[in-house]
Chains A and B, each alone.
Chain A
Amino acid sequence: MNTKIKKNNSKKYLTIFIIISAVCINSLISLLMGYWSYNWLPVQASEAANYVDNLFAFETTIGTFIFLGCTGTMAWILIFNRAPKYDESNGAPIEGNVKLEVIWTIIPLILVLAIATFATKVNYKLENLGSKTKYNFGEEAPFIEEKKPFDFGPIDVISRQWNWEFIYPNGIHSSELHLPINKRTNFRLITDDVIHSFYIPAFRLKQDIIPGSVITYSLTPIRKGVFRLRDAMFSGAYFSQNQTNVIVESEDVFNKWISETVKKELQNGLNPAGRLYDKRLKNGNRGWATVEPAPAPKVQDVGLEDRPHDG
């Protein structure tokens, strides 16, 4: 009798020991994954990046814990609960456990509410999106006063099928987006053809550009370098060519760029899609239908298509 209780007790202790060590190992791996997750993302080049990455790391940590918790249990079951070859008997006839089910309803509920609250705070903190104002097709996009203060801008971002053009407050036209570091810069996102998306992975920011509306948008670059700007909303045949560079510079370099560029002549800007389309026409216009690419924008700074980039 006594030995039986002892045996039961030692089995109980063993179970508790296994559970505690599994939870510890799982927590450790989860924290490591959260820590590593920063490496899976491009460099942090805007104010938003740190918030997004922290949120992502937080989710990676919790996600890893849940994933390993569930799949670890499955692995345990696969190792220890396999039926021997001719064993056709049933498993333990457990129909359910209300207490357990209430727990695993409430814990995920608290977890997701916590994540969503965290994310809501980040949204209010960043407030990149300004206003979206409709205007009649064919008219000039109206000028909308941005409510939240900004340091520079507004820069008009014009996306077409398939090239980018940036127009600065002093009238400079450029194929690449030059930005001063650490200044909250305001943009007016405009398109006349189809929906595009203003996406700079190193900034962790993306905003669709909707024809018929002008959208104001603000962001703060925090790292010098060259970053890719990619159209992220499918926009037709040469969609994948609709990319350009964002060049974040110190204030001095940026001001120098402004003062030098303004004196330059307008010429054809970056237009890789146009080049590919010409090649297609030369080869007999084979392939399926597409609209003709928009002509290259007339810009003062032509930019460099294959500029090495940092993210």
Chain B
Amino acid sequence: MTIINYDQRLVKSKNPYPRGPNDWKRFFSFNTDAKVIGIQYIVTALFFLLLGGLLGMLVRGELITPPSDLFDPTVYNGLYTMHGTVMLFLFLFPMLSGLTNLLVPPMIGAPDMAFPKLNALAFWLVPVFSIILLLSFFVPGGPASSGWWSYPPISIQNPLGKMINGEMLWITAISLSGISSIMGAVNFVTTIIRMRAPGMGFFKMPIFIWTVLAAQLLQLLGLPALTGGAIMLFFDLSFGTSFFRIEGGGDPVLFQHFFWFYSHPAVYVMVLPVFGIFSELFPVYARKPLFGYKFVAVASFGITILSLVVWVHHMFYTGTPMWMRNLFMFTTMLIAVPTGVKVFAWIATLWGGNLRLSTPMLFCLGGLFNFIFGGITGVMLATVPVDIHVGNTYFVVAHFHYIIFNTIAFGIFAGIYHWFPKFTGRMFYEGLGKVHFALTFVGATLNWLPLHWAGLLGMPRRVASYDPEFAIWNVIASIGAFILGVASIPFILNMVSSWVRGKAAPPNPWRAIGLEWLLPSPPPHENFEDDIPTVLNEPYCYGLDKPFVQDEQFYIDKSFKKH
């Protein structure tokens, strides 16, 4: 076995971060510590979750009645566009970068990321493009209002003819977000490949690391297409080029290829780390080894490879020829196979376990439940004839919220609760966590389950008004959305009060196996410092008489010492 070690100079270097570990101001500085950056990302992302949620509630407020009566339809279009953009680019991507930053170095026994300054730069682009995006609310004509796809020609119509307009700021923000994500991806991939603890071969890595690697490679492969497409769109909009403009002989459908070549895999970029979180948490709270570790690990890459060849399923009714539709239907369907491997492995992990239904486990179970449902509607959408009927209707909206909120956000909440004690050094309040879960599950189900029927009956997505026969589903959905808004109260209360005055957390409150749990809570700046453990087995050997690292007791004892 090859032992991959990292550059020892990194450990020996003098205090590479400007502020001490207990100075709260470090969260507002250009700090290069991955753990600080992780928390910066997560807190920023949670702020934008609130903003995106508020925009979502405004959208649902408009849709609670059939006519367009709360806002002018132009305002509605801007609100739903910004809701989607904020949720994807300001909440989900930064959130997952945050969790990745927090977890990757401790989980693989590295002191920090491979490129700490690049890492800090990637984070500080987030507030920059967020501000650019939010400024677009205040420019004449309002923000971008052509949906998060920003399909031309609608996106380049520029009704007021001004150089600075909402769409232009939108494209700028998205391109910067892409650059930030590429910087992050370079960092994560290098760190995972080069800086693992001795003994941690690929098949001894935690599944979360596998999924991060799969997801970030996907970023590197896909993002250039979107960023390139966005730049062409910017030129069409601002400088009158004709990449997509029909007046100059361009083809608007070309943009859809650029867009979906990345933006379909983008869903997997977001969902893969959440699969990683599920794979980490189920063994801990079921007290069982992960069922079929190697299958689950390899399945991540099966998803990565397949997800690069499915994008045309977003374009089944754009005039795509028959052979292409059939081909992409088959590739899309095949994704169900590696995904199924994971789902069955999680259920088999739970089987015969000794389950403890704490808050993180509840979010995992809820997320898995929703994912099975969302996966099945996904297969339905992959079938060409069915997609031709339900594509671009509320069925799609319902499906992707089942994935993006009911699975991904659930997994994120699970991860936040699970690793909260590790990185803040405080325990959270279990009762508030359970209230948060109950409200979130009920709200999310009420919000998105009924919309499937609205879509099946033919209610198009993105409408500001609709025929009265769809009213019942929309009323239930709006009530669900408002419950989701209420669900944020116990969450915020829990996070803030626990971090300020929660009970001090022991190094390993969940009795979990994993390098991060051999560190004190919170971990010292350079994690294991000079004593990097040698990994002997994958971190899922619950109830098996297999040691995880050499001299485990030494690390456990060390983790209890105050640093």
Contacts and interface: CB of A to CB of B under 8 A. Distances in A.
A pairs with B? yes
Contact of B456 (A40, A66, A194, A207): A40
B317 A208 contact: yes
Contacts of A202: 458
Contacts of B293: 95-96
Given A112-B337, A288-B78, A52 B354 contact: no
Interface in B31-87: 68, 71-75, 77-78
A254 interface: no
Contacts of A60: 380
B418 to A, nearest CB: 17
Nearest to A118: B383
A215 to B, nearest CB: 5
B424 interface: no
Interface SS of chain A: mixed
Contact of B337 (A74, A109, A124): A109
Most buried by A among B252, B393, B460: B460
A53 to B, nearest CB: 9
B141 to A, nearest CB: 3
A268 interface: no
B256 to A, nearest CB: 9
A236 B288 contact: no
A55 B354 contact: no
B489 interface: no
A120 B292 contact: no
Contacts of A96: 289, 291-295, 348
Contacts of B247: 137-138
B325 interface: yes
Contacts of A257: none
A102 B360 CA distance: 30
Given A104-B341, A197-B317, A67 B72 contact: no
A290 interface: yes
Interface stretch (A18-26, A85-93, A169-177, A178-186): A85-93
A123 interface: yes
Contacts of A274: none
B285 to A, nearest CB: 9
Contacts of B160: 289
A71 B369 contact: yes
A127 interface: yes
A120 B352 contact: no
Contact of A74 (B249, B368, B391, B463): B368
Interface stretch (A3-11, A151-159, A224-232, A294-302): A224-232
A58 B304 CA distance: 29
A289 B74 contact: yes
Contact of A116 (B286, B330, B337): B330
A137 B372 CA distance: 47
Interface stretch (B151-159, B231-239, B434-442): B151-159
A63 B153 CA distance: 38
Given A73-B347, A123-B326, A241 B465 contact: yes
B385 A74 contact: no
A206 B317 contact: yes
B386 interface: yes
Nearest to A70: B372
A70 B349 CA distance: 13
A286 B10 CA distance: 58
Contacts of A115: 333, 379, 383
B289 A93 contact: yes
Given A91-B543, A210-B253, A289-B142, A193 B385 contact: no
Nearest to A230: B460
A196 B464 CA distance: 16
A119 interface: yes
Interface string B368-390: 11001100110110111110110
B543 A63 contact: no
Contacts of A52: 385-386, 388-389
Given A73-B351, A74-B365, 7 more contacts: A59-B379, A67-B373, A96-B293, A134-B251, A206-B317, A206-B388, A239-B462
3 tightest A-B CB contacts, nearest first: A201-B458, A288-B142, A287-B72
6 contacts: A40-B457, A55-B383, A63-B379, A67-B373, A74-B347, A119-B329
Interface of B: 68, 71-75, 77-78, 140-143, 145-147, 151, 153-154, 157, 159-160, 165-166, 246-249, 251-253, 286-289, 291-295, 317-319, 322, 325-326, 329-330, 333-334, 336-337, 340-341, 343-345, 347-348, 350-357, 365, 368-369, 372-373, 376-377, 379-380, 382-386, 388-389, 391-393, 453, 456-458, 460-467, 511, 541-544
Interface of A: 40-42, 48, 51-52, 55-56, 59-60, 63, 66-67, 70-71, 73-74, 77-78, 81-83, 87-98, 100-101, 104-105, 108-109, 111-113, 115-116, 119-120, 122-124, 126-127, 129, 132, 134, 136-138, 193-195, 197, 199, 201-202, 204-208, 210-213, 215, 228, 230-241, 243, 276, 280, 286-291, 309, 311
